[in-house]
């Protein structure tokens, strides 16, 4: 996952893990993150085929391996909670697959931007929700979203590409904006379609309703983090 710029999620309480409603919400969340890790592994493995040098192929392959390692930890935790990890992941399959179908990279550089920007937006979203979880689950999620080396690698390759062809910057800036729009739409869809995740975004399964102001601040932070990532790449958001 891409490294996230600093953000300040809304403070959340520590829910009791023995609460069935809370456990169901955590299983839902971990299922979403686990399927995201699986698709990240698959996508990076495909991106490695487009890499222009052997050094790039090895670097991308190493990132893919790290994503799979995160996936294995999430599967273990899902089983500890009494969930079926494959059923938990399958609940998000259509939504994630639709997102990737709509954002298929056309070349090596678009693949790099998607790995950095797209995964970064998803990681920010899940970190926001993790702020409301018990420490053990929160720590697992944060560790599973750690940068697997993408940030420095992508920034270096994209900036070098733009230096060689200034027209590349305009095209990649448009691609980054498209990814942002698609990712936010996907995040809103995931939250809206899964009652357990909606409850967590409301600040916990024990709260009566969604705090729209807090939700608005969360999406503002996601947008600000995206703008910072684009700036790091030398691109306009």
3-state secondary structure (DSSP) of residue 154: helix
Give the three-class secondary structure for 121. Answer: helix
The span from the CA of 210 to the CA of 204, in Å, is: 10
Can you state the angle between helices 119-130 and 135-144, rounded to 10 degrees?
A: 170
Distance CA 32, CA 22 (A): 15
What pLDDT score was predicted for residue 12? 46
The pTM (predicted TM-score) of the whole model is: 0.83
Q: What's the longest Cα–Cα distance across the chain?
A: 57
Domain ranges within the chain, ordered by starting residue: 20-232
Q: Which fold does the domain 20-232 belong to in CATH?
A: Ferritin (1.20.1260)
Instruction: Of 40, 38, 58, give the one whose Cα is nearest residue 48.
Output: 58
Ordered per-residue pLDDT tens for the chain, 237 residues: 444 454 544 444 444 456 888 888 899 999 999 999 999 899 888 888 889 999 999 999 988 898 899 999 999 999 999 999 999 999 999 888 988 898 999 999 999 999 898 888 888 888 888 888 888 889 999 988 887 667 889 999 999 999 999 899 999 999 999 999 888 888 777 767 777 777 676 655 554 455 667 777 888 898 899 999 999 999 987
């Amino acid at each position: 996952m891409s490294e996230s710029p600093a953000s300040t999620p809304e403070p959340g309480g520590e829910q009791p893990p023995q609460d069935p409603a809370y456990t169901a919400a955590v299983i839902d969340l971990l299922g979403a993150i686990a399927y995201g890790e699986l698709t990240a592994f698959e996508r990076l493995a495909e991106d490695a085929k487009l890499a222009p040098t052997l050094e790039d192929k090895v670097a991308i392959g190493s990132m893919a391996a790290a994503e799979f390692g995160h996936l294995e930890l999430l599967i273990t935790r899902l089983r500890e909670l009494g969930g079926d990890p494959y059923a938990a992941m399958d609940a998000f399959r259509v939504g994630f697959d639709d997102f990737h179908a709509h954002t298929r990279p056309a070349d090596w550089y678009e693949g790099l931007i998607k790995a950095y920007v797209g995964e970064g937006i998803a990681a920010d979203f899940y970190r926001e929700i993790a702020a409301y979880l018990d420490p053990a689950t929160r720590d697992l999620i944060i560790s599973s979203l750690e940068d697997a080396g993408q940030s420095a690698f992508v920034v270096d390759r994209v900036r070098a590409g733009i230096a060689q062809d200034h027209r590349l910057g305009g095209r990649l800036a448009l691609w980054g904006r498209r990814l942002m729009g698609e990712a936010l739409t996907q995040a809103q869809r995931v939250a809206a379609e899964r009652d357990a995740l909606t409850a967590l975004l409301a600040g916990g399964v024990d709260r009566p309703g969604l705090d729209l102001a807090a939700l608005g601040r969360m999406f503002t932070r996601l947008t600000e983090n995206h703008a910072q990532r684009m700036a790091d790449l030398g691109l306009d958001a």
